[in-house]
Amino acid sequence: MRTSTRAIVFIITVLAASALICVPVSVAGPRDDRPLEGFGADTPGGSSGESYEVTSLADSGPGTLREAVSVSNRDVSFSVAGTIEFESTLRISEHHITIDGSTAPDPGITIIAAHSGVTGALLDIKYANDIIVRHMRVRDAPDTNTGDNLRIWSESYNIVIDHCSFSGAGDGNVDICCDAHDVTLQWCILANTVKNSLIPEGCYNISLHHNLYTCGDERNPQIDRSTFVDMVNNVIHGWAGNYGTRVRNSGSANIVKNYYVAESWSDLSDAIVIDADAGPVHVEGNIFPPECPATGTTGTLLAAPPVTEMDPEDALLAVLAEAGAFPRDAIDEGCSTGVAESPVKPTSWGQIKAMYR
């Protein structure tokens, strides 16, 4: 694979700081062969720790997911499948933990609230480091004030969320805030909510790549308040009356080779909104409605670790076929099918399945 301009920029910048951090670039294969790439993606997670098998779908107690993440240095697998109904937030405040939902039997693992009185985030990563979460679904956090499906915050770092699915949050599907840094969200689905993803308040070194943001009215994502985000090869579909992606309040970003798919309810001019008070924003190679005037504020690519870049047309096909937790449930299958059947694109869902499965 050729060395991209973004890789050169990143290496030069880090060498200048007298420390070389190298994230490998691989030729990708189907689903689980996709490498972890981006800020923080060189974390080992819990791979060198104690193996812990989740054997119960109960909220708490022996063999549960809550007990599994209560101790650092754990590699968590599942011998059960189904839905875990949490009575309260599942908080991860330890370090070096991997949660691998792909080890569960079909149909995999889904997290929901046990009742409408559950407040705050369903999955909450706070003051944690070196955490990998893979092939998990988190649905329908009920709290309309702070009810995120996933919140990564409070100086958490080296966090990778890979092939996970989030939908129906009362507040944000995935919010990253409060000085979290070196976080990657890759090959995920964020769907069916008003506010899909907010990234404010001093966060830095955030990689968003090969994700599907669909039917989120706004915040796909919103980058705000001195935050740096590297946003590559995402698919943003069906934003509503507000906007697709927004950068403001000194936020900075690369917005590169993403595919914006409007629906009849979308404001075409607001696919990408860059406010006058935004920091450096590099916009390059995206496909979005011609009515959108976004051009960025700098012609210089901001330094970020390399990820496997595709042309946006190829990224569209790959994301629709591969993003989210597997095996896919009806919600994720419906999200991908809905984008594929949008009249904007001449690509059928059957063609996508044939090419990527």
Whether residue 322 contacts residue 356, with contact meaning beta carbons closer than 8 Å, is answered with yes
Q: What is the pLDDT of residue 353?
A: 46
pLDDT of residue 135 exceeding 90: yes
Q: For 153-168, write each residue's pLDDT tens digit.
A: 999 999 999 999 999 9
Q: What is the pLDDT of residue 81?
A: 98
Average pLDDT, the chain: 89
**Range(s) of the domain holding residue 323:** 5-356
Tally the domains of the chain.
Answer: 1
pLDDT band at 126 (very low <50, low <70, confident <90, very high): very high
pLDDT of residue 33 exceeding 60: yes
Q: For 184-225, write each residue's pLDDT tens digit.
A: 999 999 999 999 999 998 899 999 999 999 999 999 999 999
pLDDT of residue 97 exceeding 80: yes
CATH number for 38: 2.160.20.10
Q: Length of the chain, please?
A: 357
| Residue whose C-alpha is closest to residue 309's, from 210, 211, 194, 173 | 210
Q: What is the pLDDT of residue 27?
A: 27
Q: What is the pLDDT of residue 35?
A: 95
Q: What value does the mean pLDDT take over residues 100-122?
A: 97
Q: CA of 146: how far to CAs of 155, 191, 195, in Å?
A: 18, 17, 11
What DSSP character marks residue 70?
A: T
User: Rounded to the nearest 10 degrees, how much is the dihedral formed by the CA atoms of 302, 323, 76, 143?
Assistant: 90
All residues at 6 or more sequence positions from 289 whose CB lies less than 8 Å from its CB, including other chains:
260, 262, 268, 269, 271
Q: CA of 116: how far to CAs of 16, 119, 120, 122, in Å?
A: 51, 8, 11, 12
Q: What is the pLDDT of residue 338?
A: 85
Q: CA of 37: how far to CAs of 7, 31, 54, 338, in Å?
A: 12, 14, 27, 27
> What percentage of the chain has pLDDT greater than the value 70?
86
pLDDT band at 32 (very low <50, low <70, confident <90, very high): low
pLDDT of residue 340 exceeding 90: no
Interatomic CA distance for residues 53 and 104, integer angstroms: 10
Q: For 247-288, write each residue's pLDDT tens digit.
A: 999 999 999 999 999 999 999 999 999 999 999 999 999 999
Weakest-pLDDT range from 2-16, 227-241, 259-273: 2-16
Higher per-residue confidence, 9 vs 64: 64
